């Protein structure tokens, strides 16, 4: 069973044929080395794809137009945003800047991001801001060796922990100057994550868009958007 960091590290030592007595200070496999390998392999595996189990939600009180991404969130990963329960449309940054420069008093519900900063039109925003995006899981180093730390894969995708084992074995083989074996373990780790990603992709067929087109129709005469629904009382 590979449910937490303690079990993952123990499995690495077993498969690598390493006695736990060689993990003492000065050896090739000290606790610090193993904890570092786990952290590196964990970050690599969780960043390999935009996993659905690393999707995050954060909320804060709206205070200003320019805001910093939540700590640990991936750069440019903010996908959806609401303020006071109202959905805001995401614009690319160039269009957002043009909009703010040319229509400084407009109250359109729009936002954008650039690097690790996101921007919300301040002319209308007020209340609680809720963000939806992608984060990178953190590791609590103090619990990696002694008590064990579960991973984002542990709840329902434990094969992801198997990929972490293989990637850690890659680091071990690199340390022992065995490049061919290191490459083999890395290849196995990649194959495991690719299979896991395919399983998630195969489940996506159940998701359907609801009445959402790529473009909105514009009333050229009045210069505004309007609905395509038929009005039975229009004549």
Residue 202 has pLDDT above 80, yes or no: no
CB count within 10 Å of CB 117 equals 14
Dmax over CA atoms of the chain, in Å, equals 88
CA distance 129 to 113: 15
pLDDT at 145 (0 to 100): 65
CA distance 233 to 230: 9
The residue written with tokens 């896991």 in the block is 196
Average pLDDT score over residue span 212-218: 45
- Tell me the chain's radius of gyration from C-alpha atoms: 24
CB count within 10 Å of CB 215 equals 5
CA distance 62 to 128: 6
> What average pLDDT is seen over the chain?
83
Which residue would you say has higher pLDDT here, 27 or 7? 7
Q: What's the pLDDT tens digit per position in 131-174? A: 999 988 876 555 566 667 888 898 888 899 999 999 999 999 99
Which neighbouring-strand residues pair with 18?
none
Residue 51 CB burial class (10 angstroms; 0-12, 13-18, ≥19):
buried
Average pLDDT score over residue span 26-42: 84
pLDDT at 122 (0 to 100): 95
Residue 92 has pLDDT above 70, yes or no: yes
Strands (E), 12-169: 55-61, 66-68, 80-83, 86-90, 110-114, 117-120, 128-134
Phi-psi sector, 234: left (phi>0), alpha (psi -120 to 50), beta: alpha
Residue 203 has pLDDT above 80, yes or no: no
Residue 209 has pLDDT above 70, yes or no: no
Residue 3 has pLDDT above 90, yes or no: no
What count of Cα atoms within 13 Å lies in the side-chain half-sphere of residue 9? 27
pLDDT at 205 (0 to 100): 66
Report the share of the chain in percent with pLDDT over 90: 54
What count of Cα atoms within 13 Å lies in the side-chain half-sphere of residue 216? 9
Q: How far, in whole angstroms, is CA 219 from its chain's centroid?
A: 39
List C-alpha distances in Å: 76 to 15, 73, 116, 138, 201.
39, 9, 7, 18, 22
Q: What's the pLDDT tens digit per position in 38-91? A: 989 999 999 899 898 889 999 999 999 999 999 989 998 999 999 999 999 999
pLDDT at 91 (0 to 100): 96
CA distance 139 to 151: 9
Q: Angle at the Cα of 13 (from 11 to 16), degrees rounded to 5?
A: 105
pLDDT at 131 (0 to 100): 96
Residue 93 has pLDDT above 50, yes or no: yes
């Amino acid at each position: 069973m590979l449910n937490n960091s303690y079990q993952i590290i123990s499995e690495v030592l077993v498969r690598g044929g390493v006695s736990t007595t060689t993990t003492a200070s000065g050896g090739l496999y000290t606790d610090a080395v193993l904890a570092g390998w786990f952290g590196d392999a964990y970050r690599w595996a969780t960043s390999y794809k935009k996993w659905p189990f690393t999707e995050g939600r954060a909320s804060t009180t709206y205070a200003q137009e320019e805001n910093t991404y939540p700590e640990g969130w991936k750069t440019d990963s903010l996908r959806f945003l609401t303020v006071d329960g109202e959905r805001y449309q995401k614009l690319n940054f160039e269009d957002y800047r043009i909009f703010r420069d040319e229509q400084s008093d407009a109250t359109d519900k729009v936002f954008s991001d650039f690097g690790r900063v996101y921007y919300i039109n301040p002319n209308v925003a007020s209340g609680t801001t809720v963000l939806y995006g992608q984060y990178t899981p953190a590791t609590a180093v103090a619990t990696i060796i002694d008590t064990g730390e579960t991973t984002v894969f542990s709840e329902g995708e434990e094969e992801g922990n198997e990929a972490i084992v293989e990637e850690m074995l890659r680091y071990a083989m690199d340390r022992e100057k065995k490049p061919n074996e290191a490459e083999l373990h890395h290849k196995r780790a990649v194959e495991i994550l690719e299979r896991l990603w395919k399983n998630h992709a195969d489940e996506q067929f159940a998701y359907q868009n609801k009445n959402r087109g790529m473009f909105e129709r514009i009333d050229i005469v009045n210069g505004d958007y309007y609905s395509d629904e038929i009005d039975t009382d229009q004549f």
